[in-house]
């Protein structure tokens, strides 16, 4: 048995904002620069401040007001009422704080990210190879994917029953992958990614361009975003996704080192402007609300804004066994989980190497009253009980990338088996996208409620800190029959 190599990523990161908007149409031609026109690099030099306005708009003429005080407006989110400025000394900041249009002004704060992933290097699994035909397993049922037999996690949520009833997704459903980018040339994802709507808010665009000059800067050099995306939707050549026909939008906020070093608020704003129906988050940040109350309220506004615009937000509940409620009592809130309207997802997994009984929670799960639902995320202790995931074909040199996804691997042989709430969250994001197929756009409350009420209630009756309202059930959410003889038989068949 292979010993899992745990990748725990804890770093200080800046999570701020920028202005961005564009229309979307697909093209595989790389652009010289498709970063948002008003975006500013995410440096962490001193003298930068976050401004939260009383109204959810940036007042007209505010840039001129800051300039008259000797500073500069660097970022602005007009529909949220948040801006960043720089260049003001203490006296001028006092003058700014006296402006009755402003709720608070706070030095740009750092926050501790909460992304952890388990992945091992099992060697090339049976059926994975660089000579796979590009049309293998695609075009009909996702169950024809060559490695589908290993995907106990999708059978555990009855995704195959939904496929059998004709639910394969909808290309008008738009899912923003808030992660390390997407490998848009990967055969599992080629043709699914909206090239014009995708963008990078990461700090390593120059490195990406230097390593892959013919690729978009939002290509995935880590692996996590590609794996996330391919679980939401996949052509189903080697591995199935929850959907086959969804439009993916890469919103790159995690760099090639696996660090959440991008502009989180800018990414949310961008995804909304690109008409996303669902946002699928890689992880989150822990905000000290005593030291960074302005940052917390800025995020609350961002998620409220996304909700008003019809977006369902789905995020991992975190790995490491943290008690969200105790953290809250101490003034630390996990974002996005603690933000309004967000679906915060816990992990279920088998307790043995046989995935026939996959509905257990693990001591590594984050837990608390903000857990909404649970979904399969894998058990790192057992190779056969992990989640099979697609690697990127544009890896960077960073060590956090699992060995199977690093440079030197044969093209498209990269399959990694991992575990973590990221994959639970991606599964629920895929279900949310599937429900857009059923209910259409601009129904986030209906979709969230349908996910909750159709979940299989496990653990204590009703909502509990570990399963939330239960483990999601794709078939039940879509009102399609669950075929008999399947309960408790989610393993290989």
- In tens, the pLDDT along 231-255 reads 999 999 999 999 999 999 999 999 9
Dump strand ranges (E) for 254-361: 278-281, 284-288, 312-316, 332-335, 343-348
| Percentage of the residues of the chain whose pLDDT score is greater than 70 | 79
Please report the pLDDT score of residue 409 as a whole number: 58
One domain for residues 443 and 308? yes
Tell me, yes or no, whether 488 lies in a domain. Answer: no
Q: Supply the range of the domain harboring residue 226.
A: 5-16+113-477
- CATH, residue 387: 3.40.50.200
**65 and 170 assigned to the same domain:** no
Is 146 in the same domain as 210? yes
| pLDDT reading at 281 higher than 70 | yes
CA torsion, points 260, 261, 264, 265, in degrees to nearest 10? 160
Q: Are residues 94 and 134 in the same domain?
A: no
- Tell whether 97 is covered by a domain: yes
Question: Does 36 map to a domain?
Answer: no
27, part of any domain: no
Residue 491 lies in a domain: no
Query: What's the confidence (pLDDT) of residue 413?
Result: 54
**pLDDT at residue 260, rounded to an integer:** 77
438 to each of 162, 166, 229, 247, 343, how far by Cα in Å? 12, 11, 21, 16, 19
Total domains in the chain come to: 2
Query: Same domain, yes or no, for 372 and 297?
Result: yes
The CA distance from 335 to 293, in Å, is 12
Query: Do 87 and 140 fall within a single domain?
Result: no
288 and 359 co-located in one domain: yes
User: Where residue 125 falls among pLDDT bands split at 50, 70, 90?
Assistant: very low
- 301 and 235 inside one domain: yes
Whether residue 397 is contained in a domain is answered as: yes
Q: What's the CA gap between 426 and 378, in Å, rounded?
A: 13
The residue-averaged pLDDT of 218-241 equals 95
Pair type for strands 169-179 and 199-200: unpaired
Question: For residue range 6-34, what is the model confidence (pLDDT) as tens digits?
Answer: 333 333 233 332 222 223 322 233 333 33
Say yes or no to pLDDT of 1 above 60.
no
Kindly report the pTM of this predicted structure.
Answer: 0.86
Flag whether pLDDT at 120 surpasses 70: no
Range of lowest pLDDT (59-63, 273-277, 364-368, 401-405): 401-405
Q: Are 86 and 234 in a shared domain?
A: no
For residue 460, give every residue at least 6 positions away whose Cβ sits within 8 Å of its Cβ, in sequence order, or none: none
* For range 293-308, the mean pLDDT: 94
Q: Is the pLDDT of residue 407 over 90?
A: no
Domain co-membership, 89 together with 190: no
Q: Is residue 493 over pLDDT 60?
A: no
Same-domain check for residues 91 and 179: no
Measured distance CA(251)–CA(217) in Å, rounded: 11
Phi then psi for residue 3, to 5 deg, are -85, 125
Q: What pLDDT was estimated at residue 22?
A: 29
Per-residue pLDDT, 51: 94
Amino acid 45: pLDDT: 38
38 falls within a domain: no
Separation of alpha carbons 423 and 224, rounded Å: 10
The answer on pLDDT for 220 being more than 50 is yes
Mean residue pLDDT across the chain: 83
Q: Do residues 435 and 447 touch, judged by C-beta distance below 8 A? A: yes
For residue 157, is it within any domain?
Answer: yes
Q: Say which CATH number the domain at 91 has.
A: 3.30.70.80
Q: Could you tell me which residue, 99 or 409, shows the higher pLDDT?
A: 99
Q: Contact 216/30 with Cβ under 8 angstroms? A: yes
Assign 384 to helix, strand or coil. helix
Q: What is the pLDDT of residue 167?
A: 96
pLDDT in tens, 429-450: 999 999 999 999 999 999 999 9
* pLDDT of 66: 96
Q: Do 103 and 211 lie in a common domain? A: no
């Amino acid at each position: 048995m292979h010993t899992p190599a745990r990748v725990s990523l804890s770093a200080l990161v800046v999570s701020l904002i920028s202005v961005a908007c564009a229309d979307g149409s697909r093209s595989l031609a790389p652009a010289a620069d498709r970063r948002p026109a008003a975006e500013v690099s995410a440096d962490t030099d001193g003298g930068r401040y976050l401004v939260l306005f009383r109204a959810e708009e940036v007042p007209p003429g505010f840039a001129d007001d800051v300039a008259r005080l000797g500073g500069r407006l660097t970022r602005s989110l007009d529909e949220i009422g948040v801006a960043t400025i720089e260049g003001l000394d203490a006296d001028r900041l006092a003058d700014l704080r006296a402006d009755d249009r402003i709720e608070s002004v706070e030095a740009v704060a750092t926050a501790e990210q909460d992304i952890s992933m388990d992945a091992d290097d099992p060697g090339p699994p049976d059926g994975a190879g660089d000579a796979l035909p590009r049309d293998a397993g695609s075009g009909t049922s996702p169950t024809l994917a060559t490695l589908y037999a290993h995907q106990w996690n999708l059978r555990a949520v009855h995704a195959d029953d939904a496929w059998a009833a004709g639910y394969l997704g909808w290309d008008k459903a738009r899912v923003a992958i808030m992660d390390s980018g997407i490998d848009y040339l990967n055969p599992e994802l080629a043709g699914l990614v909206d090239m014009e709507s995708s963008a990078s808010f990461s700090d390593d665009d120059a490195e990406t361009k230097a390593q892959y000059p013919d690729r978009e800067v939002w290509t995935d050099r880590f692996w996590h975003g590609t794996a996330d995306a391919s679980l939401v939707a996949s052509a189903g050549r080697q591995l199935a996704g929850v959907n086959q026909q969804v439009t993916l939008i890469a919103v790159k906020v995690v760099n090639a080192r696996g660090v959440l070093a991008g502009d989180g608020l800018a990414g949310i704003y961008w995804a909304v402007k690109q008409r996303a129906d669902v946002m699928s988050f890689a992880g989150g940040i822990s905000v000290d609300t005593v030291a960074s109350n302005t940052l917390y309220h800025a995020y609350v506004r961002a998620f409220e804004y996304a909700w008003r615009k019809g977006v369902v937000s789905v995020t991992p509940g975190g790995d490491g066994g943290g008690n969200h409620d105790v953290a809250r009592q101490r003034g630390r809130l996990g974002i996005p989980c603690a933000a309004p309207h967000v679906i915060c997802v816990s992990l279920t997994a088998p307790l043995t190497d046989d995935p026939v009984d996959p509905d257990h929670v693990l001591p590594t799960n984050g837990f608390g009253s903000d857990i909404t639902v649970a979904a399969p995320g894998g058990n790192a202790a057992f190779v056969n009980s992990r989640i099979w995931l697609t690697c990127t074909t544009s890896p960077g040199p960073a060590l956090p990338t699992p060995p199977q996804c690093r440079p030197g691997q044969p093209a498209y042989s990269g399959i990694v088996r991992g575990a973590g709430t990221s994959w639970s969250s991606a599964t629920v994001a895929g279900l949310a996208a599937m429900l857009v197929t059923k209910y259409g756009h601009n129904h986030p409350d209906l979709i969230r409620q349908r996910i909750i009420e159709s979940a299989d209630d496990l653990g204590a009756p009703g909502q509990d800190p570990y399963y939330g309202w239960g483990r999601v059930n794709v078939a039940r959410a879509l009102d399609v029959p669950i075929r008999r003889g399947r309960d408790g038989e989610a393993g290989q068949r």
